Structure 1
Amino acid sequence: MTLFSIAKKNIRKNFKNYFLYIASMVFSIVIYFTFVSLKYDQTIQATTDSSTKISSAFNAASVVLIIFVAIFIWYSNSFFTKKRKKEIGLYSLLGVRKKQIGQMLFYENFIMGILALIIGIILGSILSKFFVVLLMKVMGYDAISNFAISFAAVMNTVIVFILITAITSIHGYRLIYRFKLIELFKAEKEGEKQSKASFIIAIFSVLLVGIGYWLALQNLLESEIWRKMGFMITPLVILITVILGTYLLLSTLTVYLLKILRKNKGHFWNGINIISTSQLLYRIKGNARTLTIIAVLSATTLTAVGAAYSFYFNNRSNAETANPNSMMFVAKDTNISNKIHDLISHDKSHSIEYHEIIPTLQLDVDITNLHSKISGDQVEYTIIANKTYNKLVKDQKKNDSLSLKGKDAAALDASYFEGLSPKYVGSTISLKVKDLSENVTFKKLKKYNVLNLHTANTTVVVSDELFSKLANKANLVNMEAYGMTNADHANKLTKDIQSILPEDANFSSFYNDYARGMESTGLIIFIGGFLGLVFLAATGSIIYFKQLTEANLDVERYDILHKIGVKKKEVKRSIAKQVLFIFALPLIVGIAHSVVALTALSRLMQTNLVIPVLICIAVYVCIYIAYYFLTVNTYYKIVTKSNR
């Protein structure tokens, strides 16, 4: 019998023991193949206007996915091989040469890899069609995906995973040469020393995380510490302090708190808390690195997905802010204006809510007095009268009005950014038309506009008297604004209007900005969400594997508890507490890190991210809870199987 046939027989007879490892590989292949299939999908390339951009985004994300999947498979393989060290030691004890054992391990791992590859590609082919439809939906397209297996995606996946499988197989082959026989038999006892606790290091860990949080929450535009340290160095300092602080927090502070809990006699001697507390104390050191990785990955995932979903969630409001009118353009030709009105009037998919012809002045203004950090000293402002503003806010159903007199003015700046934009209120500018020059003072600032941003840019509202005075000296620029129903489905109408308008009409529409935003943010949220779910599944699986490894070591201990009369209900409660500690620690720390990161992002963008972030955290926690209950039930079955 050859070593290859022995390897096949081992897998067939011990498939139950190999199942977790094969399942983790299948999961990785399904995810990667599905993701790569989207890059090559014909439906996406035929439907979208930016297939090149989508392909580039998927290329970049697939590199991240390859790295992560490789690490995940390596991690799963490490747990699998560690579980088999005693078996390998037994082979050596029976006189099988190291070279032969190594070859057998290599064959076993390679066979499982090929098996997982076939299953993964089949499942991935089915799932990829669902994800194509989902991607089209979040990007705002209605498209039906035809079932087709991409040969390029298959070859890409096969090459990547044969390479990963070969590397992990060589790793398994080398296992036999790295350990002495006695080490293989004692492998299960590694990491069973009680961890030491240091009050000073525990406080230092909190201090490190606190420094990272403090730096992250600084106002970037005003912070002296960011300027002194540099905008390239400070983020690295934040990463180092938070990651190091997290590791010390989970390896030292938790031990310190568990020892305080052990001194609480009322809790420690209650039921079998002595078992769960003692096991956590002995194993927390071995778990610290894993928990740190999971906490950092959870924070990264929540931050990335939360930020991506925030962009997607706010897309409509951003498009409405930039385009308060459904459509707007500079009216230079009456015939063209009439054609546009006829097009909109006869379109059965839309009805006109309002149509306004807006008299404006477009003046070059010196804004040196406004101390702007993002624009030059000369900008073009669109000037409108007070009555025009009041009419438009009524049309747009904004609960607002202005009553300007004399040389008072109000700024309408939809792209206003605190700390960078001009300081309007209280400042004075000069409006010059030919030989007329009028100094106006800003009394109000509105962080929105009643004219579309692309057509009119920043708008200044002046009193009716002053507008009439300026208009007598300048040529009026008439702009037409339409408000209509179903503006987010005006694809054909928008294209028809654009085709008859000259470029200098500065045409803008809600649909154009909304559709572009849906496409870009939809792609971001899809990739972010997809990778986020992969990271979540992987981190949950890592804890799952780790706990199952410990469960196999605990069988004898729980068997003794059963023999001295401890009820199974108490055993399950003890397991639930122990596993909850391991699951909750990285989750709480990860959520805390992501909340700080997203708060900093919210301040930087000056956008409210509360709702989308809470939704992301809620989904993340729900999936994590499912992993927790799965782990508790499986752990319980393993430690009680001999008591049935």
Structure 2
Amino acid sequence: MTLFSIARKNIRKNLTNYFLYIGSMIFSIVIYFTFVSLKYDQTIQQTTDSSTKISSAFNGASVVLMIFVAVFIWYSNSFFTRRRKKEVGLYSLLGVRKKQIGRMLFYENFIIGIIALLIGIILGSILSKVFETILMKVMGYDVIGNFVISPQAIVNTVIVFTVITVITSIHGYRLIYRFKLIELFKAEQEGEIEPKTSVIIAILSVLLVGVGYWLALQNILESEVWRKMGMVTPLVIIFTVILGTYLLFSTLTVYLLKLLRKNKHHFWNGINIVSTSQLLYRIKGNARTLTIIAVLSATTLTAVGTAYSIYYNNRMNAEISNPNSMMFMAKEKNASVQIKERISKDKDHEIVYHETVPALLVNVDITSLQSKISADEVEYTIIDNKTYNQLAKWQKRDESLSLIGNEAVALDASYFEGLSPTYVGSTISLNVNDRSKDITFKEMKKFNVLNLGTAGITVVVSDEVFSNLASETNLVNMEVYELTNEDDAKTLSKEIQSMLPEEARLSSFYSDYAQGLESSGLLIFMGGFLGLVFLAATGSIIYFKQLTEATVDRERYEILHKIGVNKKEVKKSIAKQIFFIFAMPLLAGIAHSIVALIALSKLLQTNLVIPVFICIAVYACIYIAYYFLTVRNYYKIVMK
């Protein structure tokens, strides 16, 4: 019998143990193949307005995915090789040379890799059309392309995963030479020493995480610490949180488990003595793995939460920038008449309101406003109090104004706390030809009644001041339209854009909404699928480690069963033990991601609560599914 045939037989007999490993590999290949297929997809390139950007995004995501999958497969392969120490020891005892054992394991891993590659490409080819439909949908396109298998994607995937499989197989081959015969037969006794604890290090772990959180939640614009440390601060945050998390798992949890052991009522209740002792003896050895999982969970949740938040808030952001469905400067009267006729004839869109807004475009010196992001001189759009009240009424805003004298109100929809101009109480001069008028800002509103793309920052002045300034120059008439079904106005928007010169500064709700939907849809698609791969990998790592420990624990549970412990109590003990291992990195990852997203929401000045909690809920549900799968298979192993 050849080594290759032995390897094939081993895979067949151990298919149950390899199932999740092969499944995770197949899942990773399907996602990678999908990414590469979408990169070469002709339907996407012909339909979208930014195919080059999409191709670049998928290139970057594919590289990240490739690196992560390579690390995951490497880790999993090492795990399975170590798990089979006793089997390898038996081969060695029977006189099989390490070179032959290594070759056999090489063949095993290579066969598994080829099987996963073939299945992954077949499934990826079938599912790529589904993924393409999902991508087009989240990007706002209703297009269904033909079923086409990309040869470039197949070649790319085969090359990448063949290289990964060969490298991990060689790694497994080399790992055999690091084992001594005594190690192979006494593998089950490894790591069974009670870990020591240090109250000082336990307190330090909490302090390190606390310092990282405190730095992350500082106001970047006002914090003295951020100002002194500069761009080193994010690195300090990452270092303190990761180190603190590791010490938290390796020291603080050991300290807490020892305290729990001293609680006689809990420790001697049922078979808590078994689950508590096993956690205590193994938690320190699992600390590195749990830290990696917590950090990956935090990274995944932060990335996916941010992407989904952008997607979730896309419509709101488009409405803030475009309170009117369409707006442009009426440079030519004929063009305005033609546009009105075109909109009136459109059966899909009715005019809710149409206003011609008289306005002044004035270059203003805003040095006195102490802006940190604006130039010293900017162009403001000036409208009168009456026009503002009319538009506010149409837009159903309970925000009417009554300005007198030189009072003014700034309408800045893109206002950024700490960086934008300090309006309230400040005075600026409006210079129109030979006339100059000082105005004082009475109030600032974080919205506009005119579209940002056409009018920019708008200043509302009293009717008297506007009349005086208007008498010195020609007014600019701005056409404002509010339409029904404004988020489905692609054809109308393009036609009107072709009818106007660039100087008209056409802005529309649909253009910003569609553009935002395309970019944020691409982000959420990539973030979601990369997040699923990370989640599958982290869940699989815990699964592998727990099943390895289950094999070691089998004899202990057999003894418990023989002395009268029933199956229900055994399963309850297993569930408690595994819950602790699953819950710790998940809770730490959620805590880290919440802090990161709070800091991000402060920086972006937007509310991320709803989308973030949706992402956390979905992530937790999938993680819980992994937990129940692990409990079930752990129980099957120990009670076999």
TM-score interval, smaller chain: over 0.9
1:40 paired to 2:40: yes
CA-based RMSD of the aligned residues comes to 1.0
- Partner residue in 2 for 1:192: 192
CA contact 1:409–1:463 (8 Å) conserved in 2: yes
1:374 paired to 2:373: yes
2:21 & 2:492 partners in 1: Cα distance? 55
- Partner residue in 2 for 1:79: 79
- Partner residue in 2 for 1:119: 119
Q: Tell me the secondary structure at the aligned position of residue 451 of structure 1.
A: coil
2:11 & 2:101 partners in 1: Cα distance? 15
2:151 & 2:444 partners in 1: Cα distance? 58
1:416 & 1:151 partners in 2: Cα distance? 49
Give the letter aligned to residue 110 of structure 1. Answer: F
- Partner residue in 2 for 1:589: 588
Mapping for residues 284-299 of structure 1, pairs under 5 Å: 284-299=283-298
TM-superposition CA deviations, 1:42-78 (whole Å, max 9, x none): 2211211111100000001111101110111111111
- Partner residue in 1 for 2:480: 481
Deviation at 1:10, TM superposition (A): 2.7
1:636 & 1:282 partners in 2: Cα distance? 20
Deviation at 1:227, TM superposition (A): 1.4
Q: Tell me the secondary structure at the aligned position of residue 562 of structure 1.
A: helix
Deviation at 1:24, TM superposition (A): 2.7
- Partner residue in 2 for 1:142: 142
TM-superposition CA deviations, 1:223-267 (whole Å, max 9, x none): 111111112x11111110000000000110000000000001111
- Partner residue in 2 for 1:309: 308
Deviation at 1:598, TM superposition (A): 0.5
Deviation at 1:622, TM superposition (A): 1.0
The runs of 5 or more residues in structure 1 that have no matched partner are none
Deviation at 1:431, TM superposition (A): 1.1
Deviating more after overlay: 423-432 vs 141-150? 141-150
Q: Tell me the secondary structure at the aligned position of residue 270 of structure 1.
A: coil
Q: Tell me the secondary structure at the aligned position of residue 410 of structure 1.
A: strand
Deviation at 1:11, TM superposition (A): 2.4
- Partner residue in 2 for 1:362: 361
- Partner residue in 2 for 1:578: 577
Deviation at 1:17, TM superposition (A): 3.5
TM-score, length of structure 2 as denominator length: 0.99
TM-superposition CA deviations, 1:549-608 (whole Å, max 9, x none): 111111111111111111111111111110110010001111110011001001111111
Deviation at 1:434, TM superposition (A): 2.0
- Partner residue in 1 for 2:512: 513
2:598 & 2:22 partners in 1: Cα distance? 40
1:167 paired to 2:206: no
Give the letter aligned to residue 468 of structure 1. Answer: S
Q: Tell me the secondary structure at the aligned position of residue 192 of structure 2.
A: coil
Deviating more after overlay: 325-334 vs 32-41? 32-41
Q: Tell me the secondary structure at the aligned position of residue 230 of structure 1.
A: helix
Deviation at 1:16, TM superposition (A): 3.1
Q: Tell me the secondary structure at the aligned position of residue 169 of structure 1.
A: helix
1:383 & 1:159 partners in 2: Cα distance? 62
1:550 paired to 2:525: no
- Partner residue in 2 for 1:560: 559
- Partner residue in 2 for 1:615: 614
The runs of 5 or more residues in structure 2 that have no matched partner are none
- Partner residue in 2 for 1:88: 88
- Partner residue in 1 for 2:58: 58
Give the letter aligned to residue 113 of structure 1. Answer: G
Give the letter aligned to residue 46 of structure 1. Answer: Q
CA contact 1:268–1:274 (8 Å) conserved in 2: yes
1:68 & 1:464 partners in 2: Cα distance? 63
Q: Tell me the secondary structure at the aligned position of residue 325 of structure 1.
A: coil
1:151 & 1:569 partners in 2: Cα distance? 53
- Partner residue in 2 for 1:205: 205
Q: Tell me the secondary structure at the aligned position of residue 554 of structure 1.
A: helix
Q: Tell me the secondary structure at the aligned position of residue 191 of structure 1.
A: coil
Q: Tell me the secondary structure at the aligned position of residue 439 of structure 2.
A: strand
TM-score, length of structure 1 as denominator length: 0.98
1:553 & 1:178 partners in 2: Cα distance? 21
Deviation at 1:18, TM superposition (A): 3.2
TM-superposition CA deviations, 1:147-173 (whole Å, max 9, x none): 221111111111111111111111121
Deviation at 1:37, TM superposition (A): 1.4
CA contact 2:21–2:540 (8 Å) conserved in 1: no
Give the letter aligned to residue 438 of structure 1. Answer: K
Deviating more after overlay: 274-283 vs 528-537? 528-537
Give the letter aligned to residue 149 of structure 1. Answer: I
TM-superposition CA deviations, 1:70-100 (whole Å, max 9, x none): 1111111112111211111111111112222
Deviation at 1:102, TM superposition (A): 1.5
CA contact 2:24–2:536 (8 Å) conserved in 1: no
Mapping for residues 196-275 of structure 1, pairs under 5 Å: 196-231=196-231, 233-275=232-274
TM-superposition CA deviations, 1:335-367 (whole Å, max 9, x none): 111110111111111100000000001111111
1:261 & 1:82 partners in 2: Cα distance? 32
Deviation at 1:145, TM superposition (A): 3.0
TM-superposition CA deviations, 1:497-539 (whole Å, max 9, x none): 0001011001100011001100111111111111111111111
Give the letter aligned to residue 116 of structure 2. Answer: A
1:624 & 1:399 partners in 2: Cα distance? 46
CA contact 2:353–2:482 (8 Å) conserved in 1: yes
- Partner residue in 2 for 1:155: 155
Deviation at 1:175, TM superposition (A): 2.3
Q: Tell me the secondary structure at the aligned position of residue 441 of structure 1.
A: strand
Query: Taking structure 1 as reference, are residues 176 and 377 closer, same or farther at Cα in structure 2, changes over 3 Å only?
Result: closer
- Partner residue in 1 for 2:16: 16
Deviating more after overlay: 417-426 vs 17-26? 17-26
TM-superposition CA deviations, 1:454-475 (whole Å, max 9, x none): 1111000011111111111111
TM-superposition CA deviations, 1:167-221 (whole Å, max 9, x none): 1111121122111111111223222211111110000000111111111111111
2:633 & 2:96 partners in 1: Cα distance? 34
Mapping for residues 315-330 of structure 1, pairs under 5 Å: 315-330=314-329
2:146 & 2:433 partners in 1: Cα distance? 64
CA contact 2:318–2:513 (8 Å) conserved in 1: yes
Give the letter aligned to residue 610 of structure 1. Answer: V
Q: Tell me the secondary structure at the aligned position of residue 195 of structure 1.
A: coil
CA contact 1:21–1:80 (8 Å) conserved in 2: no
